[in-house]
Amino acid sequence: MKEIIMPKFGFTQETAEVVAWLVGEGDVVEAGDPLLEVTTDKINMEVEAPVDGILAGVRVKVGDVVPVTEIIAYLLEPGESLPQDALTGPVVVEAPPTGGTATPVAARVAADLGVDLTKVSGSGSGGRITRQDVEGFATGAKNGQTPAEKVRATPAARRIARERSVDLVQVAGSGPRGRIQEADVLAFQPAAADRGLVEAAIEPLPAGDYRVVPMTNMRRSIGQNLQQSWQQAPHIMFQADIDMTAVEALLVKGNHRLSPDEPKITITAAVTRAVAWTLQDHPWLNSRLVESENEIHLMSHINIGIAVALEDGLIVPVVKDANMKGMKRLNEEIRDLAVRARSNQLKPDDISGGTFSISNLGMFGVDRFTAIINPPQAAILAVGRTKSMFVPDDKGQPVVRPICNMTLSADHRVVDGAVAARFMQDLRLALEAPETMLL
């Protein structure tokens, strides 16, 4: 008998959601056959049979959110039957693990911080709650989602919170820099019914007036990441109307040389080329803010994320070392990533390591827009459509030129206005005089 566990695809992954079973109980499978499809925060994956066998004792159903390493089913050899304990006590997959499965240090820290362990999801083996989980929860709850700083509270406030089981995260501090003092804890009234209040605030509608769409992992993940970015990173925006005459001419020449079955090089590939080239001289735009370390990391590689719209979400696969590649190669890679993104074929490596992102919505006829920075990156470029516009030539006479609006969003904690402006200046040069990139 072989146990099948929920695999861990990524470093930070804690759970996966079952999307579909591809085989049924009693089906005979061979090693390597896909058994079920699961989705993590970011991507869909297939779980393959580790050995030949007969599928039995399926413990999870579609829609269940399962902690990684949890047993989800068994593969039996012919003639073998399931042991008794495999049949009983199916895993609890609805609720995250509770206080009973916290490490001792996590339990102590939770007591110190006044954290309710039943609300913390564990990332340790078997979903065990670790110290990091507790600290992350304590800080996260206070700040919307992300760990940023610990709760400031006096020792007396902490003691009373402990004695009264008050979660300090929910207490507003009246001391200097929001420090929670004894009186704040004493005055704290836990919200009588948090849930009730929220529900009451939404006007109830009769069933049938709306269609229920469950919040998928991907939607949650998009929501959390972008809310965090929007709330924490002070966005500054820089717009430039860029004359695409030279780029279009270059693409015409380049595409003319392609064989008929090769995909045409797109504006996205050209912009990616120009951005990657420009980033070489602008490391601040190609950086990550690591707040927990109080450091800004200027990244050695230039890995460009390309936003791809999916039917039910959005994903940003990454072109690695984009500055080392020409437009044709970039075009092929972007195309490959987009195709695989839409068919759920991306690997974790395809969506990690990005250092700058590009979102091009020009094909939808959008003139200009702003994008939210994809954390922990420091900037994103929003590319609008290229449209014909009258502009004055160097003699002041009106001429028609293809003009594309590009809007850079940068994290002002890392990037200052002049730094971003110089980046846009060089990006304009790369696009309006692409031969510069040969120099």
Partner 1 sequence: MRELTYKDALNEALFQVMKADERVFCIGEDIGVYGGAFGVTAGLIEEFGEERVVDTPISEAGIAGACVGSAVTGMRPVGEIQFMDFVTISMEQLVLQAAKIRFMFGGKATVPMVLRMPGGSGTGAAAQHSESLENWFVHVPGLKVVMPSSPYDAKGLLLAAIEDDNPVIFIEHKLLYKTKGHVPEEMYTVPLSDTKVVREGRDITVVATSIMVNRALEAAEQLAAEGIEVEIIDPRTLNPLDEEPIIRSVIKTGRALIVHEAVKTGGYGGELVSRIMESEAFDYLDAPIRRLAGLDIPIPYNRTLEYHTVPQIESIVSEVKRIVRGEV
C-beta closer to partner 1: residue 178 or 263: 178
Q: Which residues bind partner 1 (CB under 8 A)?
A: 154-159, 174-176, 179, 181-183
Alpha-carbon distance 379 to 310, whole Å?
A: 22
Residue 183 beta carbon to partner 1: minimum distance, rounded to whole angstroms: 8
For residue 297, what are the β-bridge partners?
A: 288
| Shortest distance in whole angstroms from residue 130 CB to partner 1 | 26
Give me the residue label for tokens 């044709």. 328
Pair of tokens at residue 424: 């846009």
Which burial class, exposed, middle or buried, applies to 10 when counting CB atoms under 10 A from its CB (0-12, 13-18, 19+)? middle
How many other CB atoms are found less than 10 A from the CB of residue 32? 10
Task: Report, in Å, the least distance between residue 322 CB and partner 1.
Answer: 51
Find out whether the peptide bond into 376 is cis, omega within 30 degrees of 0. yes
In angstroms, what is the minimal distance from the CB of 156 to partner 1? 4
Structure tokens at 222: 């998009």
Nearest approach, Cβ of 317 to partner 1 (angstroms)? 50
Residue for token pair 């735009």: 285
Q: Using alpha carbons only, what angle is made at residue 240 by residues 234 and 246, rounded to the nearest 5 degrees?
A: 140
Residue number, 145 or 154, with CB nearest to partner 1: 154
If the CB atoms of residues 179 and 329 are measured against partner 1, the closer one turns out to be 179
Whole-number Cα distances in Å, 135 to 95, 154, 158, 290, 341: 20, 17, 15, 17, 34
Which whole-number Å values give the CA distances from 166 to 81, 115, 141, 190, in the listed order? 50, 8, 14, 8
We find the least distance from the C-beta atom of residue 155 to partner 1, in angstroms, to be: 5
Q: Which is nearer to partner 1, 183 or 252 (CB)?
A: 183
Residue whose CB is less far from partner 1, 174 or 280: 174
Query: Do 23 and 35 meet the contact criterion of CB atoms below 8 Å apart?
Result: yes
Contact yes or no for 354/374 (Cβ under 8 A): yes
Read off the tokens for 433.
């005089």
Residues with a catalytic annotation lie at 412, 416
**Cβ neighbours of residue 245 closer than 8 Å, sequence gap 6 or more:** 401, 402, 432
Strands 379-392 and 356-360: parallel
If the CB atoms of residues 185 and 271 are measured against partner 1, the closer one turns out to be: 185
Q: Which is nearer to partner 1, 45 or 166 (CB)?
A: 166
Residue type, 420: A
> Count of residues for the chain?
439
Shortest Cβ 137–partner 1 spacing (Å): 23
